[in-house]
Amino acid sequence: MITRTNAKSTHVSMVVDGIPVDLTRKRVKNMNMRIGPDGTVRVSAPFLMPERVIIEFVRSRAGWIRQHQASAQERAERLAIPEDEREALRKALRARIDRRLPYWEDRMGLRSSGYRIRDMKTRWGSCNHQTRHLNFNLKLALFDDDVLDYVIVHELAHIREANHGPAFWSIVARYLPDYKILRRRLK
Ligand SMILES: [Zn+2]
């Protein structure tokens, strides 16, 4: 068991029925559990909650947790790119983005300040609202142009709208009326 402590919270790594759990105790009213994209189980609980209550909480959700972890693992394996293929994929994706990005910038009247391709774990793309710099996930190389277009339009729309509010989605829908279908293909 590893414990790290600071004034506002304490962190404990524990194992419950073979499931590794990161427990954070902090000033919260209720216990809360989430599973990270890598399958890590994170529980936050009030300082004074007895440990057996927390263990019981995790234990009662063990089936659900294992199911979640299995699909996270499956997804990671399906999308893992071997090292030697990485460079070729990066080059191929760069060529496609260099073709599609200026097209969408012209159509949408929004200009980025540049982009980078990164091997991101949890996001398909990102946009720095302030600098207008975009990032694209290397794994987009495994998807067709329709999906790539969706991510490009999505990130360019963030130049105008930082958050995913109705105004944001109406920009995306204006250029890609079928965006919901494309978005689902990335899930
Ligand atoms: Zn977004």
pLDDT in tens, 144-167: 999 999 999 999 999 999 999 999
* 65 & 93 share domain: no
Measured in Å, residue 36 CA sits from the centre of ligand 1 at 19
Final residue of a structural domain among 58, 79, 100: 79
Final residue of a structural domain among 47, 79, 111: 79
| Spatial CA neighbour of 12 closest among 39, 36, 47, 64 | 47
> Which burial class, exposed, middle or buried, applies to 95 when counting CB atoms under 10 A from its CB (0-12, 13-18, 19+)?
exposed
CATH code for the domain of 166: 3.30.2010.10
Final residue of a structural domain among 79, 96, 128: 79
Q: Which domain holds residue 63?
A: 2-79
Measured in Å, residue 154 CA sits from the centre of ligand 1 at 6
pLDDT digits (tens, 9 = 90+) for 28-79: 999 999 887 767 899 999 999 999 999 999 999 999 998 888 887 777 777 7
Say if pTM beats, i.e. exceeds, 0.85: no
Please give the tally of structural domains in the chain: 2
pLDDT, residue 80, reads: 74
Measured in Å, residue 82 CA sits from the centre of ligand 1 at 27
Interhelix angle 145-160/166-175, nearest 10 degrees: 140
Measured in Å, residue 24 CA sits from the centre of ligand 1 at 28
